[in-house]
Amino acid sequence: MSGESCGLLHAARDDDRVFDRVDYEGPVARWCSGCGDHSVLSAAQRLLAEKQLAPENTVFVSGIGCSSRFPHYMKTYGFHGIHGRALTIATGVKLTRPELDVFVVMGDGDCISIGAGHWVHAVRYNVDMVALLLDNEIYGLTKKQTSPTTPQGYKSNTQPRGSYLPAMNPLEATLGITNASFVAQTAEWIPAHLFATLKAAYEHSGFAFVRILQRCPHFTADIFGEAAKQPDRVEILEGPGGIRVEALDAIYKNKVEHDSSDLAHARALAQDMTAIRLGIFFEDESRPRYEETRSIPQHSAHEKMELLEKEFERYAV
């Protein structure tokens, strides 16, 4: 969401409420101990508190998967949708209620397998919302099934001899979609970088796509386990338009100079899989947003009910 839209939302509030992080905390999360989802949930709650987002004007939408229980653990509005359809629901919410802050939480299967078509067009539509891809590179909820991002050769219950195909690269794919406006990658085991990335995504005006690398403690703890223990395996993107977390400098010393407005360099960095790179790969707020390129009728609550009743009458028997 743009800073301008944030300001309009806060200006519209006629109360003096001050929200603490606890105001966004729902029931205790039931994810497995050590699951990266906990880290993402904590970062999201911290972001909402820093931005002072009114819970009644904030919506979290999800599909199906471990990560899709996210809305249950937020004390905001939420919609737990069906498999692969989180982006369509979120798009509908944002287009009909543009004043709301909309976040979408998806797993790797939910977003880029069954939801692939919606993912591609959500990026192209560039509706102003934040989309989080929680990628543990396996189907965790259905107990270790190969997903589109499972590394080639990695054994699972559906492909016990190892994944047949090379893993899909969500960053490379997203950067290749027409009208992409914000593409970033972060990791759940680096909370400071995770929070800074979510903050940058929220402040972006347009569709902000964030891939979050995370460990599944039961099925893919080994995939990112070494990277979590060995900081030299990680490269941090820094440069114009990027994010800088000074507290991490002493730990993550491998830096890559990158201008986030350089799409060609972003694609080259995403395609090169020799290192885990974190940061903003690309950002361009000049890209057209779908809600600004089409006319969306604005109706009062009474008018909406009248139109709904009129539509029902068409099918009366």
Output the pTM of the full model.
Answer: 0.88
Phi, psi values for residue 253, rounded to 5°: -90, -15
Residue 268, domain extent: 3-313
Rounded Cα–Cα distance for residues 290 and 294 (Å): 7
Say what the pLDDT of residue 256 is.
96
* Sign of the four-CA dihedral 182, 186, 188, 191: negative
- Total residues belonging to the chain: 317
Q: Looking at residue 288, which CATH number applies to its domain?
A: 3.40.50.970
Indicate the residue type of 135.
D
* Sign of the four-CA dihedral 187, 160, 84, 123: positive
Residue 18's CB is within 10 A of a number of other CB atoms, namely 8
Can you tell me which residue has the tokens 């900081």? 231
DSSP SS3 for 195: helix
Q: What total number of domains does the chain contain?
A: 1
Each residue's pLDDT expressed in tens, for the chain with a length of 317 residues: 544 444 444 444 567 899 999 999 999 999 999 999 999 999 999 999 999 999 999 999 999 999 999 999 999 999 999 988 999 999 999 998 999 999 999 999 899 989 889 999 999 999 999 999 999 877 887 787 888 888 899 898 888 998 999 999 999 999 999 999 999 999 999 999 999 999 999 999 999 999 999 998 888 888 888 888 999 999 999 999 999 999 999 999 999 999 999 999 999 999 998 999 999 999 999 999 998 887 667 778 888 899 889 989 998 87
Cα 232 from chain centre: 26
Phi-psi region of 56 (alpha: psi -120 to 50; beta: other; left: phi over 0): alpha
Tell me how many degrees the CA angle 2-303-55 measures, rounded to the nearest 5: 40
